[in-house]
A and B are shown apart, each in its own frame.
Chain A
């Protein structure tokens, strides 16, 4: 397998910035206790991070999976291949987030401790995967 092209590296760095950084922007600052017990503050933070990962200048909010899709749009099959397995893990997590659907929008999903724990793990793994992926890409 050849080295990462600079355009692919830049693309992955952007994804790390837009998705990795903001997917847990507020919720990463909450204590483990709060994740375990749940709270209105936690629900608000997670909703903001997942449903409004990025907000455009005109106020439109983009959820995590849309940021992901925009980030990988137009990648060639070879580039996806190069970015595996990290990219696949990231994709699985954002799809799961998307699947929470209305229950996430209303906040009900986060009343469930199991969902909260899985959310925490998903955020962490997205960040870790992007870190590894970009490291790998930058090494060439």
Chain B
């Protein structure tokens, strides 16, 4: 079911739709362009489809265009013509603000007003005409259904998972609009909630910009290099500058510049960034010349920028320029419980789709004759005994208690952590089934009763994987430098080594006051690879921000 807005000067469509398309919700109809604009902007529910009439018998003052002075013919003729084609005028006026909102214009190709460019209309992605000349509720219903389905399908292609809740849907719609605007955009939300992914895969893609997407993580960039990295540097500006080097602002020209952890920008560089936003002007380090660049700026932060302004750590004028009124906050995984099952299924498919897991799956499928040719394997997850086997499908069976544990878990590392847990879960589950390929497997021994297309996730593995992440809580007391290993029955080696690695990295982090480059120096003999260490810590589900707080105190 969907929320549908009818734009029609009479109630004829509304009556018909409420009777025959009752599975959908119809928001109060709009009678003209002005009302349509209002409804779309302020509807409490996201509007997913518009049904737009063509003839509008409305007052001249309400007819588009507002300025009719240039139109040919007597006033009566002009008004008549505008009434007969008003739907298309409304569509034209609404489109720029809602480029991917599906709109069904309630007329068929045969009935298009004379002089209207049918081909252009046809080329529009989200504009549909009626299939039938005379509106038939059944046909309309089929058409609406198929438009909504198409939309679901195209959503499936997205790398960013939105889910099905209203909150997320309207967030998605809002972001699509903000993406196309010229103004900067602030993304907030806890670590691993998808800010970076959103900036790259959704905002940049929908910005309609032809330039590149360039991302900079300001939390891993040494302060001394920040200016050169952002604005570029001219040869000879300082000892190390042996050649002119472009800054990211230049590289993102005509595209999107994503500044992650904007809170780490020094006050001085904040001023320079402000100038970029105000005048599109900047000066590379050591340069007297002004350069210009037009970028769509997206910034992310975990900090409260308003608070930083109060503390004098962030420039108020920059914050104002960043368009704080439209800041978007991504919810944590904890707050996405409403459609958790679907979410789980999505991420499970995702972790199965590449790397080692994909390989393991292919081997498992091959061994049990599950693959159906080129298409690969479809992966599903259920919490109850699945229905009949289907060719080309493998179903993971998640015990109810495991599903409950996953659902109730805190997920401090959010989606990053979820991906890791699920990925490990698939790996550990399949490895034991695939690696002992030589021995006659117990599965084939009683093949009559055991289904090879259903693979249960061992409850124990889920418990272990989740327990692995709670170590940090009780890791405080005792010897500061010690790493502890508990000997437990059935502990997998991988879980043990992750556990040790995690504790080890945490100790180092505390010991070196959070200086990741120093840790990188120590571990990798590369003092500039702090980012790698950070990534690994993230992968292990270490809550860097909690650690940071401990370092500070």
Residue positions of A touching B, CB distance < 8 A: 6, 9-10, 13-14, 16-17, 20-22, 24-26, 28-29, 55, 57, 127, 131, 134-135, 138
Contact = CB atoms under 8 A, between A and B. Distances in A.
Given A22-B12, A57-B57, A13 B138 contact: no
A131 B322 CA distance: 56
Nearest to A9: B114
Contacts of A57: 57
Interface string B285-315: 0000000000000000000000000000000
Contacts of A24: 134
A25 B16 contact: yes
Given A25-B16, A127-B133, A127-B134, 13 more contacts: A10-B84, A13-B113, A14-B84, A17-B55, A21-B135, A24-B134, A25-B12, A25-B135, A28-B136, A29-B16, A131-B133, A134-B110, A134-B111
Contacts, number: 40
Contacts of B419: none
Contacts of A9: 114
Range for the number of chain B residues in contact with chain A: 10 to 19
16 contacts: A10-B84, A10-B114, A13-B114, A14-B84, A16-B111, A21-B135, A22-B12, A26-B15, A26-B16, A29-B19, A29-B138, A127-B134, A131-B110, A135-B110, A138-B110, A138-B114
A29 B133 contact: no
A70 B193 CA distance: 63
A16 B10 CA distance: 18
A13 B16 contact: no
A6 B115 CA distance: 11
Nearest to A55: B10
Contacts of A26: 15-16
Interface string B1-39: 000000000101001100110000000000000000000
A28 B136 CA distance: 7
Contacts of B345: none
Contact of A21 (B15, B57, B134): B134
Contacts of A135: 110
A13 to B, nearest CB: 7
B361 to A, nearest CB: 49
A17 B114 contact: no
A38 B426 CA distance: 61
A89 B10 CA distance: 29
Interface in B340-372: none
Residue among A20, A25, A134 with max Cβ neighbours from chain B (10 Å): A25
Nearest to A18: B55
Residue among B55, B57, B111, B114 with max Cβ neighbours from chain A (10 Å): B111
Contact of A6 (B12, B55, B110, B114): B114
A98 to B, nearest CB: 22
Contacts of B19: 29
Given A28-B134, A29-B136, A29-B137, A17 B12 contact: no
A20 B133 CA distance: 10
